Amino acid sequence: MGALEIVVGALVILVSLFIIVVVLFQQGHRAGINGAISGGADTFLSKNKARTVDATLARLTKYIAIAFFVLAVVANFISYNK
């Protein structure tokens, strides 16, 4: 096993752990429905803040998923050309 394989493998593990953490930080889509049914009112500013954080996390999830896919292809390419 070469040094490049070890580095790419470690990066795949780190990116996969990071994507798990980012997905767990995202708020569920059903949270707004439960608040509307129970009568919980949020202020205008708290709604915008939540949307901004959720939008940022969703965007970050997309970029991390792309990085994970690219790293998986690179790892496969390295192991195939061995």
Q: Which two tokens stand for residue 21?
A: 């953490």
State the pLDDT at residue 53: 84
pTM of the predicted protein model: 0.69
Cα–Cα dist 76/54, whole Å? 33
More confident site: 27 or 79: 79
Neighbouring residues of 47: CB distance < 8 A, sequence distance ≥ 6? none
Handedness of CA 8, 13, 14, 18 (dihedral sign): positive
pLDDT digits (tens, 9 = 90+) for 12-59: 999 999 999 999 998 776 655 555 555 555 555 556 665 688 888 989
Q: Which two tokens stand for residue 79?
A: 């192991």
Q: Which two tokens stand for residue 16?
A: 């996969």
State the pLDDT at residue 65: 95
